[in-house]
Amino acid sequence: MDLRQLAALVAIADHGSFSAAARSLHTVQSNVSTHVARLERELDSVLVDRATGSLTDEGEAVVARARRIQGELEALVADVTALHQEVTGTVRAGVIGTTGRWLVPLLLEALASRHPGISLVVVDATTTSLLPQVAQGDLDLAVVALPVTDPDVATEPLFREDRVLVAPPNHPLAHIDHVTLADLGRYPLLLEPVGTSFRDELDVFAAEAGVTLIPQAEVDGMRLLASLAHEGYGPAVLPFTAVASWRDGDWTLAGVDGLSPRSVGLARRRRGLLSAPARAVREVLLEVIVAEARHQPGVEVTPV
């Protein structure tokens, strides 16, 4: 098996055709076709549907592995380079939007000062979207909501943040300093979908109090959920950092009795080692969290 063969297949996956793959690799289409054909013979499988240019199931499986191999090769070069000079390379890091709002600017500033040779690519997405990318090796690191149950992903805690209720001013729950889970069970709420860590934890707390939460709408994305709540579409339980960026608007804020704080952590692939640039980013990120998270309202750094 030849690395050029794997690179050709990955290029087809990324660009959608043999001709586009050849352009991206700065070669001719016949070379790409030859590499893929040889790989197919070696694996005794059709990897690309010639009629559509799309990958077969076998092709998808090979590309997933090939991306991991390419990532390990890039990490190998970065690790050796780091032994002789400053740490350089590209790191892909994911972050949930509510945390990224305050963390990413601080992280970029600290990285530029400490490791100017590192290029950081930031992916802003939900935990639901980020975790598969971490497990597949598409992301080196990701700041996500905990807990994480994916066996292919390892996590470490970063901080905890209070959960609060945001409600429209004319809602029955408005203008109450503290509400109970029983109060929440009386009215439809804006909620994340079942299967997300934030929603699942809310349902557990509610069940322990003998309450069933009623969805007014289910949105997988805390920033959008917060936007809807702040704009008066309905009440929602939110992590405090989802509230902190809102200064204007006609909405009310209340504590919720019976809820423990939300936990946020750093995720990475369980198998394989972080590259030298990724280790440097993790180190700087942890330092930023320790120094700055306590200045965010409602946030407490998790003891290590």
pLDDT tens for 164-188 read 999 999 999 988 889 999 999 999 9
Q: Which of 253, 201, 192 is nearest to 225 (CA)?
A: 192
Written as six digits, the tokens of 222 are 């805390």
The model carries a pTM of: 0.72
Average pLDDT over residues 194-200: 93
Fold of 3-72: Arc Repressor Mutant, subunit A (1.10.10)
Long-range contacts of 282-289 (CB under 8 A, 24+ apart): 282/141, 284/107, 284/110, 284/111, 284/114, 284/115, 285/93, 285/103, 285/107, 285/141, 285/143, 286/158, 287/110, 288/103, 288/106, 288/107, 288/110, 289/103, 289/158, 289/159
DSSP 195: T
Instruction: Provide the pLDDT for residue 285.
Output: 97
Provide DSSP, 82-104: HHHSS--EEEEEEE-HHHHHHHH
What does the domain layout of the chain look like in residue ranges? 3-72, 86-158+263-297, 163-260
CATH code of the domain made up of 163-260: 3.40.190.10
Q: Which of 126, 161, 158 is nearest to 255 (CA)?
A: 161
In one-letter notation, the amino acid at residue 42 is E
Q: Domain 86-158+263-297 class?
A: alpha beta
Residue 295 confidence (pLDDT) above 90: no
Domains 3-72 and 86-158+263-297 share a fold: no
